[in-house]
Amino acid sequence: MRHKRVVTIDAFPESAFRHLERDAIICIDVIRTTTTLVSSVSQGRLSFTAPNVERALELASCLDSPLLAGEVDGCKPEGFTLEDSPSAILARKDVWRPLVLLSTPGTKLIANTAACPAVYIASFQNLSATAEHVAAQHDRVALLGAGAQGEFSCEDQMAAAWLAQKLVEWEFEPEDMPTAELIDRWSDADISLTSWGNSAASLRSAAQLEDLDFVLGHVDDLDLVCCYRDEEVVPWSDRSIALDILHSWPTKSVHMESS
């Protein structure tokens, strides 16, 4: 008999410690950390994350010709080649060079989940693939947004709500009222609303419109599940087996009333 299947939505790096005993955590930082990581993995590039500059430099020292990318409080650290940018990563042809990404608070959130049995990286690009895989493998799931400037950013709320709604369609239930309310508010929202958020405003003020256009233009276009383990983000290799399990289950549509 399966356990009760539940999903909850939470935010900020510190929230990870409340959810480490769950079956799985999905980390979300649409603008831009998880979008950059999913893009990098889609290239076949080795992709690592670091919670701080010191660890990023340590990781880089162990790799052959690494690309150091990211930012701390909006500024690219000295010695880093790139900012946290999915469009910049995909524009590069040197896919043999490993990526080491540091981007606050996104990679700090990811690092804080390390003790959870299973951790996934999701962006708008791979929502359906991630939801299907997680539904096949797990029963108690937390969707965690990284947050931005002390707020649970609208794009992360939207991505979490979309993922949660997909899990509801696989017989999960919202674990709490805030989760149900976020699903009700955002699961049918138009992605264009992302462009009105503070994260998008920061990209515009920094003249980084290519990344905003990238986020808005790449929705569910990757059949890719990204897993985090030992500071590395890797593609799930046994997904076909998981989906065979998933599609053998009866499904039902679950309606959630607005509170």
Rounded distance between C-alpha atoms, residue 250 and residue 170, angstroms: 9
Q: What is the pLDDT of residue 209?
A: 83
Domain borders along the chain are 9-245
For a pLDDT cut of 90, what percent of the chain falls above it? 76
Average pLDDT (221-249) is 77
Write down the residue that tokens 């791979």 correspond to. 126
pLDDT digits (tens, 9 = 90+) for 228-241: 999 999 999 755 55
248 three-class SS:
coil
CA separation for the pair 112, 200 (Å, rounded): 25
Joined together, the tokens standing for residue 6 give 């539940």
Separation of CA 182 from chain center: 17
Quote the distance between the C-alpha of residue 187 and its chain's center: 16
119-160 pLDDT, tens digit each: 999 999 999 999 999 999 999 999 999 988 789 999 999 999
State how far the alpha carbon of 182 is from the alpha carbons of 58, 76, 145, 231, in Å: 39, 33, 12, 30
259, pLDDT greater than 90: no
SS3 214: helix
Average pLDDT value for residue range 59-84: 93
The pLDDT of residue 148 is 81
Quick one: pLDDT at residue 2?
A: 60
pLDDT, residue 252, reads 39
Could you tell me which CATH number the domain at 9-245 has?
A: 3.90.1560.10
